[in-house]
Every structure is written in structure tokens, then in C-alpha cells.
Chain A
Amino acid sequence: MWTRKASFTFTGGIALILIGMMIANLQMMILGISFIAFIVVNSWISGHGDVEVQRTLSADNLYKGDDLYVELLVTNRSNRNTQLLEVYDNIPHEMKLRSGLNQMRLNLRPGESARIRYVLRCPLRGHYSIGPVSLRSRNTFNLGVDEMYVDHHSDIVIFPQIKEVEEAFLRSRTPKMYTGATTLRTPGQGSEFYSLREYVPGDPFKNINWKAFARTGELMVNEKCRDAVTDLYILLDSRDIARIGTVLKNPLEMGTVSAASLAAFFLKRRDSVALAIFDDNLSYLPPDTGDKQYFKILSALAGVSPKGAMPLQAVTNSLSGRFSRGSPVFIISSCEGDGTVPAAVRDLVGRGHEVTVLSPSSIDFERLVSRIPRMSYEVLKLERQNRLTTLAGSGAMVIDWMPDMDLSQALMQVRGY
């Protein structure tokens, strides 16, 4: 495709020829002809040869706020020079360049490669895709330009940040919830003996029961009972109202961070953790333990976006049958715009669950983006206090989570009933 310069040169050339003919001026005609000849000669080389692009990422999964190292290898696979090639790696607009540059002007000889290396900061959780790679080739004199894409994508998941949760905070006011490890009569990671079974490749040698081997002549391994405190249920409010605040600071972002941190904390203790996210739908991850569950929870949290307005009672009604008896339930919600919250909490408490409501203060988040008159703020704050007091009165432990408050700090403020 011609550039603006080429179009002007061509038009100028034609105009000079015509004017030269009109006034019988050879200089004008020659100037015009040479302009056209310049375009003609330059048009012989256009586009670029086969370019291969390969992208390497430092990680496929990252935590929010981490740095991602990207290396783009561009190789000229053709038998000609690429000419002036601008390579631009398309990055999601949510990511910020921390170092280096995601573009380069190059001219690769046949077989030559160039590496573009840059570092991205990932300030927002989510599922992202880096790519495609845009290629724009120009000739030396910027008369022709061709643009194309190399459809090469690299997917990446940015997990929510994991905050340190100190056990003491959780234990302090909930002595019944976490009474220490109890063995479950299922095989798994634990300390108590469960049964003997035949050795299969991959079993650690330390589990081999040498006495049994001496007795039977076959390799046998000890299997242990799974240790678990209990099943923990996390209900995350991802309704549309949870978007109040800034992109980086809103109830949903804080909710995902707290859900991920709590899940990480309990899974580390070999508890089972279940996650329910409600927005316009209810997505439920049944309780399980281990790294796989941890990854599933983080992936689910990475993809959460605010939408819908499902009431909490609809969630508890559909899930309460699946909850293990007496298991603790964490509700992470601003408790705004949903009149069913007290009834849902009462219902869960009535079924014998230890309910903790972690409630990011949406009024204070709103204050971050818009100016609320002092009187209105006070009234709204009072309404919120009443709502939380009602929940506390229903038998739940309520945490009023302010935007500038750390998670561990918030967990210290459990208000008993």
C-alpha cells in the first residue's frame, strides 16, 4: 500500500509533468518523470519475506502485581531481507510496560534472528492473551507500507494476590471452628496409618514398609489417613454492585484477594475448601484439598467479573444441602442491594454453620471515586452499620472491611455476637 508520501510524490510528479507540458518547461517534466521513476523503482521491492515469531513467557500463571518477562524471537525464514520491518507485540491494555519495549524496527537478513525482550507489570487479575504480533514493513524511503498480523498468542492467567493470614487472627474468636486436625477415614496425606498396599512406581521410598517386604517378598507401602480439619465454604459476591470504586480498589477485587488468601491458608493446613461465586449465575467448586484445588480456586477467582444481581438467599438455598454439617462458611460480600442477606445468614446459622461475613465497605469505596456529601455519607454509613449489626445479631461474625485496611488487620476485627 502506498504511503501518504508516495501518493504526494506521485500526484506531484503527474502535476509537474502536466504543468511542464502546458508551459513547455522541460525541467518541470523531468522533475515529474523522475518522481514517478522513483516510485516505480521503489515499487519493485514490497512486503517482507516469511517471518517466524516465537514468544517465550517467564510464567503462564502469575499473581497480581508480579512481573512477566517476555521474549519475542523474530526469525527471517525467507531468502531475502525483510526490509524495514516494525514488529509490535500486542499486549493487553491492562498490563503496563515495566522495562524494555514491545516493539522494534529491524531489517533481518536471510536466516537472521532478533530478540525483543520486555517486562510487563500485571496490576489486574484475569485471563489475558498476549498477541497477535503486528508486522509493518516499509521500504527504505517510506513509500510503501504493508501491515499484517502473525496470529501467535500466549495465554496467561493472573491470579489474585495472596495475603498472609495469620492463624492467630482466625483462632482468636473462633475456638470451635478450628479445633485441630482430625483424621478422616480416607487415604491421603496425613500422619495416621490407614492400610498397606502394593508399591507402584512413583511412591516415595520412605513409605515402603520393609517389614512387610521381608515377610511377603513383595514391596508394600504404608498408606496414611487424610488429615483434615473440616470443609470450608467461601461464598464470594460478584454481583454488579461489587464494582463500586476504582479499577484496582473495589469490593470485588478485595473479595477475590481475601477469598484467595483464605483458600491458600486453609488448603495449606490440608483442609478442604469450596468456592461459590454468585453474580448472574452461581458457579460452585466442590470442596477439595491439595494443590489442584488451590489452582482451580485461583483460576476461578482470576476470571471473576462483576455482573448480575443474584440474591444471597438463592445461593444458600441451592447450596446449603451440599454443605457439610457444622462447617464454617465465609461470606465475602458488601451486603449492599440485597435484602435477603440477613435471612440467608440466619438460615445458615440455624443449620449449625459458623458464618463469618467479610464485608468490604462499598460506601468508602464509592468515596474513592466520587465526592459524597458528608451528611449523605454519615446516613449511608449508619445504614450500613445497622445492616451489619442485624447480621451480627443473626449469629454471624461480621467484619467491616475498610478500603485502606489490610486483610489480616480486618480479620482481627471479628465482631462477635
Chain B
Amino acid sequence: MADDVGLQGDVTVSGEVRPRTLHLKMLRKQWQIISLQIIATVALIGMYLEVVSTYVVGSIDHTMLFDTIEILIGDQLPIGDWLTGEGRTGLSRFFVPLILGLAVGGGMALLAFQTPTVQQRVKLGFIVTLIVVLVGQLLFSWLTGMLFSFDLRLPNSGELSTLEWPLLMILSMMILFLYLLPVIMGAKGIWGLSRRSIAWAIGFTLLFLGVHAILAFPLINGQLGDYGNSVSVIGAQFSEPTIGISGLLLVTNEQFGLIMIAILIMVFQESSYGVIRYLEYAYRLPESCKRDPEYVRQMDNVLNTHLKHTFGFLGLTAVATIVALGFHSVLLDIVKDSTGSQWAGQVSESIELSLTYGLVISAAMFLSIMALLRFFVPWERIWGFIYARKTPDNTTQTKEIVEI
């Protein structure tokens, strides 16, 4: 609009201060966008570490696989232990690979923003390097061997053994890549603005959880024999709740970990997709609108709201899930305290109640009550009232007019 309609009244284009626009180059450096990307990255790392610590570490982690391979080949893998985390214990096995995964994902994102020519050159360079690493040594030794002996022959076993190192290296890298797939794809999706990569990261995590759930199912787990023992099965019975809200203990540490996985998946998904959605909208705007301060101001509003809601609503979702999971115990406490009957105590001993049916039914009951509350409690008016109290004189605000 700037060209034909002209700049709107409250624009700031004075002196050395450059007006803010919605060009991607500028918008990508805006603090709200970067914050959302950082939140998404932190959520991705948190989600990955939580999944890994719950299901993988000490059970089916990559160091154990590397150890198995090393036993099979009777030699050390060419990839360094400091890189794979071998020799470390617990979650620390994943720290270096995680950084490696983030770096690879970031590199792929960076590559995605280069010109097609540069991308093509980098890809070509990677393929050539891979080929050289794979067969370079073999070709060199074989060809020079033939040259010096003036003999046309097939490569001998010594020369063929030069393939061992690159093949094992590539195998190790592929195993690491497989383990780090959610992190690599997630980082690429967040910083490279790729919906497909984000979907890959989430999909792979959910697929892993699904496959793990099937393998952990007692009937199937029993069929797996010794392999089944390595699948970490979360115990059917939990200890006493240790985490709660305002004195009410609602969930156990294990349950809290599982809740965190679910919430972090959502934080990762909403933040990363949000960034892409807003940048896509800004990209599609015509040039004149990108320069229009009204559009810039409203983009700020939308992004600020997204940031607030990411913390507010997803935080509330976590709280609601925690309360929903512990709601059966709250109900039983209420019945116990109000009637003093032994029935409540007997029911609380029931495994069905604390595990599946009772837990789900009470959670559904709690969530239904929460859903119905929207018809009785005017949340929007309450928040609007709080907002109006915070900023009492919005309607009389004057425009800031700065010289152009």
C-alpha cells in the first residue's frame, strides 16, 4: 500500500531508523519468531530426552547396539566413543549425539535457504565425498598396485579390506542418524521452516511410542523371549503420587514423565507450525502490505498472543492432564471425608480404578466438567476485565506521530 495508498499516519520512518516491514528477511530476526523457534527447539530436545530416558536408555539405546556390533566384528567401530557416548552412563550417552543431531539438522536448514545452485553444489560435494571415502582408498591402492606391478588384476584381499573402515563408519553414522531422526528432522523443520520435517519428527516419535507400546504389551512381550526383556515396560502399578497441586498429590513421577512427553510434543508442534504459518502469511502479503505499519503492528499482536498462549494454554493443558489423572483419588478422598465409609478405601485398592477404566472414566468426567465450565464461567469476560484493569485507558490512546 505504501506505493499508491501512501504510508499510514503512525509510521516511523525518521532519520536512521528503518521502518519495520514484514519481509521474511526482517521477520525471521524478530524476537517473537526467534523465541517461538527456541521454544520449539527446547521442547524438541526435552521431548527427545524424556522419551529416551523413559524407553531407550539402558534398554535399546545406540551404545548397546554399537557394543553388540563391536562384539560381532571383534573390533572397535571407527566412530569415536566420545561421539557415540559409549562408556558413559544413563542419559549422558545421548548428550553428544544430540548436539550432533542438532548441528546436522541446523546445517540442513541452513542449506535449505541457499540458492538452488549452492544446494546442488553442496549435495554434489557430499555425494562425491561419500564415494571418495567409500571407495577412494580401495581404488587408489588397487590402481597404484596395478601400475607399479604392470599387471591387470582384480583387487586383492588386502586392498578390499580398505573398504571395511568406510563401510563401518557409514553403518555407525546410519545407526546414529536413525536414533537421532526426530532431532535432526525437528531441527531442520524448526529452523528450515519445513512442515514435512516437523511431521517426520512427530510422526517418528509417535511411531516409536506405538511400536514400543505393542512390544511392551504382555502377550507380545512374552513371545519375544529374551529380546522382550530388553524392552523397558512401564510397571502396571505405580507408587504413591508425589506430584500435585496445592497440597493435593495427584500423579507419580513416572506419570509426570509421560505427561511431559505428551505436552512437549504439543509445544514442539504448535510452536514450530506456528512460526511457519505466520511466515507463510507474511510471505503471501503483497509488497505494499509488508511495508504497511498496520500489518506490522497486527503481526506483532498475533505473535505476542501466540507466545502467551503457548505458555498459558499448554501449561493449563499440563495442569488439566495432571488433575484428570489424579481425579479418581480426589473423588475418593471427597467420598471418604464426607461419608466416612470404608467403601472408598476398598475401591481405591482396586487396580482397575487406579489404572485403566477408573482412571479414564474419572479423567473423562473431569475434562467434561472443565468443558462444561465454559458455558457457566465467562472466561473471556474475566480475562478482558483483568486486561482492562491492567490497561485502563486503551480507548483514549493517541497515535505516536513521528516525523518522516
Contact = CB atoms under 8 A, between A and B. Distances in A.
A28 B355 CA distance: 12
A31 interface: yes
A13 B83 CA distance: 38
Contact of B294 (A40, A69, A104, A141): A104
Interface in A134-152: 139-142
Contact of A40 (B216, B306, B370): B370
Contact of A27 (B209, B317, B383): B209
A24 B356 contact: yes
Interface in A36-56: 36-38, 40-47, 49
Contact of A81 (B294, B371, B387): B387
B262 A31 contact: yes
B234 A27 contact: yes
Contacts of A78: 384
Contacts of B385: 79
A306 interface: no
B1 A117 contact: yes
A114 B320 contact: no
A28 B213 contact: yes
A43 B305 contact: no
B384 A117 contact: no
Nearest to A108: B301
Interface string B340-359: 00000000000000011101
Contact of A100 (B5, B259, B297, B395): B5
Given A24-B356, A31-B262, A101-B286, A107 B370 contact: no
> What is the predominant secondary structure among interface residues of chain A facing chain B?
mixed
Interface stretch (B62-70, B118-126, B373-381): B373-381
B163 interface: no
B289 A41 contact: no
A69 B356 contact: no
Contacts of B356: 20-21, 24, 29
A24 B355 contact: yes
B313 A30 contact: no
A217 to B, nearest CB: 55
A37 B316 CA distance: 9
Contact of B384 (A81, A84, A114): A81
B283 interface: no
B302 A100 contact: no
A28 B209 contact: yes
Contact of B360 (A17, A31, A109): A17
A21 B8 CA distance: 59
A72 to B, nearest CB: 10
B226 interface: no
B359 A140 contact: no
5 contacts: A27-B213, A41-B313, A47-B380, A78-B384, A117-B1
Given A23-B217, A31-B209, 18 more contacts: A20-B213, A25-B213, A29-B359, A31-B262, A34-B259, A37-B317, A37-B320, A37-B367, A40-B370, A42-B313, A79-B388, A80-B384, A99-B1, A104-B295, A105-B281, A109-B387, A114-B294, A119-B1
A-B residue pairs, 7 tightest by C-beta: A80-B384, A111-B395, A34-B262, A79-B384, A111-B394, A99-B4, A100-B1
